[in-house]
Structure 1
């Protein structure tokens, strides 16, 4: 039975569109944290769906669906958004991992604060580099690529059941392994200089036994770490830009494999 002026299949198509857009919006790193209220997320998803629905309508189902089939398609759209959210958060997880390693080497192991983005306790340096990565994400307008990816996703992956037999699982594993490599690359300059500083302090401790190396190492490690982080900020920004561009390519590639 159709609603007044709205055929049932179009209403179902819009709700499928809304489910995918909602899942994609909640996957965007800038909007996924608890600092963005649910009302804002729902309002943005509804308005975005109304604007993009005419472009998505040719890829939507043309016949009316049963309640069971419609519910399964809704769950399928939510699962797709969850997978995309996992890919989106990998870069930030890698940056946070690198920041945690740097913080421990600096002596900030006990300096943990609450992160509203992940609702977890993170080290001070990890939270700092996460904020830098989020600012880079917004300044490069990467969040706008998600709205382009919504329409592109319907061309590559129309509403239907996901197929994990085409290499999608292997691609997710490859992306996860890349996350650890990026974390090591992000923290490598600071770790190398801190290792060199500790070697010098070890030599000084042998030459001057009366020197209190333990007390001297704390301000020295902190100063060296902040100095290196400041000097490599431009290189870190370039790495983040490369990873953000690759992230969008990975999302489209995964959609192709799930078809």
Structure 2
């Protein structure tokens, strides 16, 4: 049965479009936290779907679907959004991992604060670099590429069942392993300098036994770590820009593999 002025096939197409848009908007790191209410996310998704639906209409099913077929397509759209959200959060997870390692080496192992995005306790340095990464994400307008990726996703992957029989799982594993490599890259400059500092302090402790190296190491490690983080901020920003640009390409590539 059609609604007034709205054919059933177009209504089903719009709801499929809305399901994918909601999933993709919820996957954007800037919108993923609990600081943005569900009403704002749903309102943004509804308005975005209304604007993009004419461009997506050629890729939506033309015939009316049964309730079972429609339900399966909705589940696939939400699952697709969850996979994209996983890829989107990998860069931030790598940054958080690197910040946690740096914090432990600096002596901030017990300094944890509440993260409103993940609703978890994170180390102080991890939260600090997470905020830097989020500011870089917004300043580079990467969140706008997600809206372009929505239309591009329909060209690469129209509504249909996901196919995990190809290389999609292997691609996900590759991206997950890349996350740990990226975390080490973020923490490597600080870790190297702190290792050299501890080596020098160990030599001083052997030469001057009366020197209290344990007390001296705390302010020295903290100061050196912050100094290195400040000096390498431009390089860190360049790495983040490269990873954010690659992230959109990885999302589209995975959609192609899932088709």
Instruction: Give TM class, smaller chain.
Output: over 0.9
Instruction: List runs of 5+ in structure 2 lacking aligned partners.
Output: none
- Hey, what's the Cα distance between the residues in 1 that align with 2:59 and 2:120? 39
Deviation at 1:117, TM superposition (A): 1.0
- 1:135-157 C-alpha deviation (Å, 9 max, x unpaired): 00000000000000000000000
Query: Which residue of structure 2 lines up, in the alignment, with residue 174 of structure 1?
Result: 174
What do residues 215-237 of structure 1 show as CA deviations (whole Å, max 9, x unaligned)?
Answer: 00000000000000000000000
C-alpha separation in 1, matches of 2:159 and 2:100 = 40
The corresponding residue for 1:59 is 59
Q: State the Cα deviation string for residues 166-207 of structure 1 (Å, max 9, x = none).
A: 200000000000000000000000000000000000000000
- 1:124 counterpart residue number: 124
SS in 2 for 1:122: strand
Matched, 1:195 2:179: no
Stretches (4+) displaced over 2 A:
none
CA distance in 2, matches of 1:249, 1:195: 36
| 2:232 is aligned with 1:232 | yes
Instruction: For 1:243 and 1:123, locate their aligned partners in 2 and report how far apart those are by CA, in whole Å.
Output: 23
- Counterpart for residue 11 of structure 1: 11
CA distance in structure 1 between the aligned counterparts of 2:89 and 2:71, rounded to whole angstroms: 27
Q: Does 1:248 align with 2:245?
A: no
Provide structure 1 residue ranges, at least 5 long, that are not aligned to the other structure. Answer: none
Q: Distance in 1 between matches of 2:3 and 2:36?
A: 33
How big is each residue's C-alpha offset from its partner over 1:227-257, in whole Å with a ceiling of 9 and x where there is no partner? 0000000000000000000100100100000
Helix, strand or coil for the counterpart of 1:31?
helix
Could you say what the CA RMSD is over the residues aligned between the two structures, in angstroms?
0.3
Q: CA deviation at 1:39?
A: 0.6
